[in-house]
Amino acid sequence: MSLRRRTLLILGDSGVGKTSLMNQYVHKKFSQQYKATIGADFVTKELQIDEFFLTWDTAGQERFQSLGVAFYRGADCCDLVYDVNVMRSFDTLDNWHEEFLKQANPPDPSSFPFILLGNKIDIDGGNSRVVSEKKAREWCAAKGNIPYFETSAKEDHNVDAAFLSIARTAMANE
């Protein structure tokens, strides 16, 4: 039996926690230190006996974004991330979503498996958040009912649940 590989692309502004979420999911590790991703890094994680998940963690900083169209076309699902404490990271979601669809050009954009993660909910016990859960859910509804999870890569809150959800959606989309 051959291994089935599914590819996940993680997109979002610099510093929202894309690398941290991936490291928490795959390695169960968190680092307080920020090290910008350059271009893209990947890791794989086995989901079931004959399936694994290849995750591309991409650079949020524009000067490090040098990904070709083929890179986007290879994605089976796309994980959008913003920081609930930074309004700009929420405002740019439209761009990330549009840019992905433009580059990946999937046959049916309305059913392409996206997921949205609102990260860093641990900060200041939630007192510094500027994007409400309601607002995020409205955005998801407007984009065709994208599943939404609030996460903390630091406290490992909802990280497994979010990645499992997108994996399942990708599997169901075949």
Which stretches of the chain bind Mg ion, using CB under 5 A? 18-19, 37
The position carrying tokens 């840019």 is: 99
Q: Distances in Å between the alpha carbon of 130 and those of 21, 97, 118, 136?
A: 20, 21, 11, 11
Please pick, from the candidates 11, 59, 78, 167, the single residue that binds ligand GTP as defined by CB under 6 A.
59
Q: Which residues pair with 150 in a beta bridge?
A: 118
The Cα–Cα gap between 129 and 163 comes to 23
The Cα–Cα gap between 68 and 160 comes to 29
Closest to ligand GTP by CB, 140 vs 153, is 153
Closest to ligand GTP by CB, 82 vs 112, is 82
Stretches 8-16, 90-98, 134-142, 160-168: which one binds ligand GTP (CB under 6 A)? 8-16
Burial of 132 (0-12, 13-18, 19+ CB in 10 A): exposed
Closest to Mg ion by CB, 21 vs 136, is 21
The Cα–Cα gap between 40 and 91 comes to 23
Closest to Mg ion by CB, 81 vs 166, is 81
Closest to ligand GTP by CB, 36 vs 141, is 36
Stretches 11-19, 48-56, 92-100, 139-147: which one binds ligand GTP (CB under 6 A)? 11-19
Tokens encoding 52: 């694994």
Instruction: Find the helix packing angle between 159-172 and 18-27, rounded to 10°.
Output: 90
- Nearest position to ligand GTP, beta carbon: 60
Q: Which of residues 30-49 bind ligand GTP (CB under 6 A)?
A: 31-34, 36-37
Least spacing, CB of residue 84 vs ligand GTP, in Å: 9
Residue ranges in contact with ligand GTP by CB under 6 A: 14-20, 31-34, 36-37, 59-61, 119-120, 122-123, 152-154
